[in-house]
Structure 1
Amino acid sequence: MFSNKERFKEDFLKRLEMLCGKSFSESTPRDHYQTLGNMIREFVSNDWIATNERYMAVREKQVYYLSIEYLLGKLLRQNLLNLGVEETVAEGLSDLGIELADLEELEPDAGLGNGGLGRLAACFLDSLASTDLPGHGHGIRYKHGLFEQKIVDGYQVELPEQWLRSGNVWEIRKADLAVSIPFWGKVETRQENGRLVFQHINTEVVTAVPYDMPVVGFQTKTVNTLRLWSSEPAQFPVHKDILQYKRRTEAISEFLYPDDTHDEGKTLRLKQQYFLVSASLQSILRSYKKQHGSLEELNHHVCIHINDTHPVLAIPELMRILMDEEGFSWEQAWEITTNTISYTNHTTLSEALEKWPIHIFQPLLPRIYMIVEEINERFCKERWKETPGDWERIAGLAIIADGYVKMAHLAIVGSFSVNGVARLHTEILKEREMRPFFQLFPEKFNNKTNGIAHRRWLLKANPKLSSLLCETIGDGWTHSAHELMQFLKYQDDYSILGKLAAIKQENKQNMAEVIYKHNGISVNPDAIFDVQVKRLHAYKRQLLNVLHIMHLYNRILEDSSFSMVPRVFIFGAKASPGYYYAKKIIKLINTVAEKVNHDPKVGDKMKVVFLENYRVSLAEKIFPAADISEQISTASKEASGTGNMKFMINGALTLGTLDGANVEIHERVGDDNIFIFGLTAEEVLHYYRHGGYESVEYYHHDNRIQQAVNQLVNGFFPGVHNEFEPIFDSLLEENDQYFVLKDFASYVDTQRRVGEAYADSLKWQKMCLTNIAHAGYFSSDRTIKEYAKDIWGIHPVK
Structure 2
Amino acid sequence: MTQGGSILDADAPVAKESEVDALKRRLHKHLRHSLGKGAVGSTALDWYMALALSTRDLMVETWMDSTHRAYANDAKRVYYLSMEFLVGRSLTANLLATGSLGLARQTLTDMGLDFDAILDQEPEAALGNGGLGRLAACLMESMTTLGIPAYGYGIYYDYGMFSQYIDGGQQVEMPERWLRHGNVWAFDRSDVTLPVRFYGRTEDALDVRNHKVRRWLDGEEVFAEAHDLLVAGHGCWTVNSIRLWSAQASREFDLRRFNQGDYINAVAEQSFSESLSHVLYPDDSTSMGKELRLKQEYFFVAASLADIVRRFRSIHDDFTKFPQKVAIQLNDTHPALAVPELMRILIDAHGIGWDEAWSICNGTFSYTNHTLLPEALETWPVGLIGHMLPRHMEIIYEINHHFLEGVRHRATQPDDTRVGRLSMIDEAGERRVRMSHLAFVASHRVNGVAALHTDLMRAGIFGDLHREFPDRIVNKTNGITPRRWLQAANRPLTALITRHLGDRFVAHLDDLRGLVPLAEDAAFREEFRAVKRTNKEALCRYVDARLGVELDPNSLFDVQVKRIHEYKRQLLNVMHVITLYNRIREGRADDQPPRTVLLAGKAAPGYHMAKLIIRLIHDVARVINADPLVGERLRLVFVPDYNVSVAERIMPAADLSEQISTAGTEASGTGNMKLALNGALTIGTRDGANVEIGEEVGEENIFFFGLTADKAEVLRTKGGHDPWQYYTGDPELHMVLDMIGQGAFSPAEPDRYRAIVDTLTRHGDYYLLLADYADYIACQERVGLAYRDDEAWSRKAILNVARMGRFSSDVTVSEYAREIWRVPVRDDPAGM
Structure 2 length as normaliser, TM-score? 0.94
Deviation at 1:27, TM superposition (A): 1.3
Q: Does 1:547 align with 2:571?
A: no
Partner of 1:538: 566
Residue by residue over 1:95-149, the C-alpha shift from the partner in whole angstroms, topping out at 9 and shown as x without a partner, is 1112322111000110201100000000001101111111111010111012110
Q: Choose the corresponding residue for 1:312, options 327, 336, 358.
A: 336
Counterparts of 2:39 and 2:693 in 1: how far apart (Å)? 51
Offset at 1:43? 2.2
Summarize the alignment of residues 205-604 of structure 1 with structure 2, pairs less than 5 Å apart: 205-235=221-251, 241-387=265-411, 389-402=414-427, 403-559=431-587, 562=590, 564-604=592-632
SS of 2:57's partner is helix
TM-fit CA distance, 1:295 = 2.1
- Of 31, 34, 38 in structure 1, the residue corresponding to residue 46 of structure 2 is 31
Kindly indicate whether residue 117 of structure 2 is the aligned counterpart of residue 93 of structure 1.
Answer: no
- Give the corresponding residue for 2:792: 763
**Residue pair 2:226, 2:245 contacting (<8 A) in 1 also:** yes
Q: Provide the C-alpha distance between the structure 2 equivalents of 1:607 and 1:705, rounded to a whole number of angstroms.
A: 20
CA distance in 2 between counterparts of 1:594 and 1:338 reads 56
Written as runs of structure 1 = structure 2, the 5 A alignment for 1:58-207 is: 58-192=73-207, 193-207=209-223
C-alpha deviation, 1:263, in angstroms? 1.3
Task: Indicate whether 1:788 and 2:817 are aligned.
Answer: yes
How many residues are treated as equivalent by the alignment?
Answer: 798
Q: Deviations over 1:326-376 (max 9, x none)?
A: 111111110101110000001100011000011211101111111001111
Cα distance in 1 for partners of 2:239, 2:802 equals 30
Q: 1:531 Cα shift?
A: 0.2
Structure 2 residue matching 1:418: 3-state secondary structure: strand
Residue segments in structure 1 that go unaligned for 5+ positions in a row = none
Shift of 1:200: 1.8
Unpaired runs of 5+ in structure 2?
1-14, 258-264, 828-832
Following superposition, which runs of at least 4 residues in structure 1 exceed 6 angstroms of deviation? 236-240
Q: CA deviation at 1:782?
A: 0.4
Q: Distance in 2 between matches of 1:344 and 1:483?
A: 29
Q: Which moved more, 1:359-368 or 1:231-240?
A: 231-240
SS at 1:161 equivalent: coil
8 Å CA contact 2:252–2:267 kept in 1: the answer is: no
Aligned to 2:262: none
Structure 2 distance, partners of 1:34, 1:209, is 24
For residue 34 of structure 2, what is the aligned residue in structure 1?
19
The answer to whether structure 1 residue 40 and structure 2 residue 88 are counterparts is: no
1:711 Cα shift?
A: 1.5
**2:360 aligned counterpart, secondary structure:** helix
2:145/2:238 contact within 8 Å kept: yes
Separation in 2, partners of 1:206, 1:269: 15
SS at match of 1:624: helix
Q: CA deviation at 1:236?
A: 6.5
Deviation at 1:665, TM superposition (A): 0.7
| CA distance in structure 1 between the partners assigned to 2:415 and 2:286 by the alignment | 35
2:11 matched residue in structure 1: none
Secondary structure (helix, strand or coil) at the match of 1:150 reads strand
**What is the match of residue 781 of structure 2?**
752
Q: Aligned equivalents of 1:375 and 1:236: distance in 2?
A: 38
Structure 1 range deviating more: 55-64 or 246-255: 246-255
Return 666-675 or 9-18, whichever deviates more. 9-18
User: In structure 1, what is the Cα distance between the partners aligned to 2:36 and 2:295?
Assistant: 42
Q: Does the CA contact (< 8 Å) of 2:86 and 2:126 recur in 1?
A: yes
> What is the one-letter code of the residue matched to 1:163?
W
**SS of the counterpart of 1:351?**
helix
Question: Is the Cα–Cα contact under 8 Å of residues 479 and 812 in structure 2 kept in the other structure?
Answer: yes
CA distance in 2, matches of 1:726, 1:262: 24
1:742 aligns with 2:771: yes
Q: Secondary structure at the match of 1:137?
A: strand
Q: 1:212 to 1:515 in 2, by over 3 A?
A: same
Q: Distance in 2 between matches of 1:385 and 1:147?
A: 50
- Mapped to 2, the partners of 1:501 and 1:659 lie a distance apart of 29
Report the alpha carbon displacement of residue 238 of structure 1 after superposing the two structures with TM. 8.8
Query: How much identity, in percent, do the aligned residues show?
Result: 42
8 Å Cα contact 1:527/1:566 also seen in 2: yes
TM-score (norm 1): 0.98
Partners of 2:774 and 2:360 in 1: how far apart?
A: 54
The amino acid that maps onto 1:129 is: T
CA distance in 2, matches of 1:19, 1:60: 35
What's the RMSD between the two structures over aligned residues? Answer: 1.6
1:737 Cα shift? 0.3
CA distance in 1, matches of 2:816, 2:350: 30
* Alignment partners' CA distance in 2, 1:416 and 1:221: 31
Q: Would you say the 8 A contact 1:205–1:237 is kept in 2?
A: no
CA distance in 2, matches of 1:190, 1:769: 69
Give, in whole Å, the separation in 2 of the partners of 1:670 and 1:28. 50
After superposition, give the CA deviation of every residue in 1:538-562 in whole Å (9 maximum; x if it has no partner).
1000010001111111222333885
Q: Distance in 2 between matches of 1:482 and 1:75?
A: 25
2:224 aligned counterpart, secondary structure? strand
CA contact (8 A) 1:111 1:142 kept: no
Provide Cα deviations, 1:465-493, integer angstroms capped at 9, x if missing partner: 11111111111101111100111021111
CA contact (8 A) 2:58 2:98 kept: no
- The worse-fitting range, judged by mean Cα deviation, of 469-478 and 405-414 is 469-478
The aligned residue for residue 751 of structure 2 is: 722
* Distance in structure 2 (CA, Å) of the matches to 1:242 and 1:369: 33
Question: Alpha carbons of 1:560 and 1:548: their partners in 2 closer, same or farther (altered >3 Å)?
Answer: closer
Contact 1:134 1:797 in 2 (8 A): no
Match of 2:132, SS?
helix
Tell me the distance in 2 between the aligned counterparts of 1:190 and 1:455: 55
